[in-house]
Every structure is written in C-alpha cells, then in structure tokens.
Amino acid sequence: SDEVVLVGRSNVGKSTLMRELTGHKVPTGQKPGVTRQPNHFDWASEDFMFTDLPGFGYMQGVEDGHEEAIKTEVVRYIEEYADNIMLGVLVLDGKAAVDIIDRHSGEDEIPHVVELYYLLEELGIQPVVAVNKMDKVDDRDERLDDIGERLGLYPPWKQWQDVIAPITAKKGKITALEDAANNHFEAAKRDELK
C-alpha cells in the first residue's frame, strides 16, 4: 500500500497542506465524485500517492443534501481503496473543530469527522489527525485534549502524538505530522519484515 489520503471539511486547509507536502498545486475536487489521480511524491524516503478527497461541510452556493453526497463519496472511495491506503490524514481546523463536532453530536447524529475517524480504524487504515491552524489557537494543550477526547483518545493528548499532530500548514509547520507519519511507515516496514 502506497497511498495517503487527506480527508476533512472544506476550508480546514487541506489544499494548503497538500501543497506543503508535495510542493505542487494539486487540484481539489469541489464536486462529489473523486477522480483518482496518480499523484506520486517522495515523502519520508518513500514513494507515495497523495489523494486529496473532496471537502465536505458548508460550502457557499451549494444546496443542502450536497454535503451528504460528498461524504458518501468520500466513504465509498476509502472503502474501495482501503487495501492500498497506508495512512488516512484527517485534517481539522484547530480553532473550530470542537464547536463543529459538538454541534453535530446528538442522539442520532455522529459528526462526519468522528465517523470518518472510526471508518479508517475499522478498515485497518492508520488514522492521523492533523490539527491545522494552530497559529490561531491560544490554549493549545487544552484544545488538543478536547479534540482527542471527542475521538476517544483520552487526555493528555501528548500520549497520542502518533495520532494527534498539531500543525500550521500555512506557515509550513508540519513537522508533527511528518514525525507521526514516519513512525507509522517505519512500523509498517517492520511488520512486512516479520
């Protein structure tokens, strides 16, 4: 498996992160229906294919029901290519994520990000939560604890550094994500050698 997928709501900074990771401008789909592009890049001394899946969530000029269609499409893509996907990077906006998750949590509602996190786990794909826009977050540790808690990763977040990666993509600060990814790549290599 050599594919890394980026998943998240629109406006969380997925394309900014993608550019940072690949050094390229990669077209992002704003429509449901994912075109699988063979975007291969060297990362962590390996050759990976990066796929930026369409962002769901509020979009201007897009009617209701569309969001659901995009999420369904993202789920379908991940399920279809699960065997080839090495890492699922769930990108969140560090400043907004807790409010959005809580707003969508109810008796019969699971927030999309939480659902996608569990989907990755169920399919045996290693999830990494890239908490972006950390430059806008003042109470860093508290915020990361809160986000982790909502994904079942109980505080302190620092014991989950292989999963929770605080980043500021806009300023090119993505070391935490690269470190987390590297650890998973190394672990996968060790497993293959067994």
Q: Which residues form the interface with ligand GDP (CB under 6 A)? A: 10-16, 28, 55, 132-133, 135-136, 168-170
Q: Which is nearer to ligand GDP, 1 or 11 (CB)?
A: 11
Taking the complex as a whole, the smallest distance from the CB of residue 190 to ligand GDP amounts, in Å, to 32
Residue nearest to ligand GDP (CB): 13
Taking the complex as a whole, the smallest distance from the CB of residue 169 to ligand GDP amounts, in Å, to 4
CA distance 149 to 164: 11
Q: Which is nearer to ligand GDP, 130 or 185 (CB)?
A: 130
Q: Which is nearer to ligand GDP, 97 or 185 (CB)?
A: 97
What distances in angstroms separate CA 121 from CA 9, 49, 78, 80, 163, one per listed residue?
19, 20, 11, 15, 12
Taking the complex as a whole, the smallest distance from the CB of residue 17 to ligand GDP amounts, in Å, to 7
CA distance 81 to 63: 29
Closest CA to 140 of 118, 168, 119, 163: 168
Taking the complex as a whole, the smallest distance from the CB of residue 135 to ligand GDP amounts, in Å, to 5
The SS3 call for residue 67 is helix
